[in-house]
A and B are shown apart, each in its own frame.
Chain A
């Protein structure tokens, strides 16, 4: 199990980065996803790719975590923001931050689709992971791509 998570750690980082607003949120979410993977590993029968299964668990956990966090955060200040144990390494490609910022501007459902699209999943796999119809996925992906293309065109003038 540990080897499986280690081999696909990048997925956990990406999902935590997309759904966690602060470093400390990302740390919490990362641990939560790792825990959920641990709990649900027995339910995985190998009927799909390991990445598909990990994405499914990670995205469902992230969405549930967001709902829970929204309830907890009411009336609470983000005093723990500075204590996160994960941090972006220095020298990271600034274009990556730009992509994450664009994803963060999407609604929560579309963020999941954007992640899967960027990682090269087929419409069929996306539909399977998120419990949507393939045609619905197609429509949404086209909108996301159009929005990203528009942003890219806009940013080209700024030398990105």
Chain B
């Protein structure tokens, strides 16, 4: 090879790219990313199911308490307070149900080509984004649990002549602080997560376009 041939060889790169996508490594990276996200979704769903069952138990308990209050002829204020608690717990049940995000899991069976692996990852990103959209409902569900429990415990204590604890004022303050903390931390988390998800979605779309262009 002389100098001119060297230049010719070098410039041939401009028509034939010197690098291509490492399909094996890309497939592994996509599969491990998919497994990670699916694992996170599973544990999140398990947590939400647990919360949903807990809320449903509270709804049943509040409903029973209303019946007991009416049957025993206790003051109407207790029945009203138990009814409000019942409503709040019902809201919690609904909020938890909605905050699960789309009911259907992102599809698994697009196929096994590299493009289909990318599409599966894209579907997961969309799923995560839709979950992020429902985060505020999730926060409201947590808040309703605290408010409903406070009101319901007040009703039960009063109807059973159990004196309020001297520390209950501080307890309420702590709960309010906790509500505010949950609200802000979830908002902050979502604000951070959304741009990352959008960026991942854009990159996956670009990757898909470049893979399609190579076919």
Hey, which bits of chain A sit against chain B, CB under 8 A?
A: 9-10, 13-14, 16-17, 23, 26, 82-89, 92-93, 95-96, 98-99, 118-120, 145, 148-149, 152, 155-156, 160
Contact = CB atoms under 8 A, between A and B. Distances in A.
Given A83-B25, A96-B9, A118-B10, A13 B18 contact: yes
Contact of A99 (B9, B19, B20, B29): B9
B18 A85 contact: no
A67 B163 CA distance: 70
B90 to A, nearest CB: 49
B13 interface: yes
Interface residues of B, number: 22
Given A10-B17, A155-B1, 14 more contacts: A10-B13, A13-B18, A13-B19, A17-B19, A85-B26, A87-B22, A89-B19, A93-B9, A95-B9, A96-B12, A99-B9, A118-B10, A118-B11, A152-B1
Interface of A: prevailing SS: helix
Interface in B1-31: 1-3, 5-7, 9-14, 17-22, 25-26, 28-29
A26 B22 CA distance: 12
B18 A152 contact: no
A9 B213 CA distance: 14
Contacts of B20: 86-89
Contact of B6 (A10, A16, A99): A99
Contact of A85 (B5, B11, B25): B25
A84 B22 CA distance: 7
Nearest to B12: A93
Contacts of B28: 83
B3 A96 contact: no
A80 to B, nearest CB: 10
Given A95-B1, A152-B3, A82 B25 contact: yes
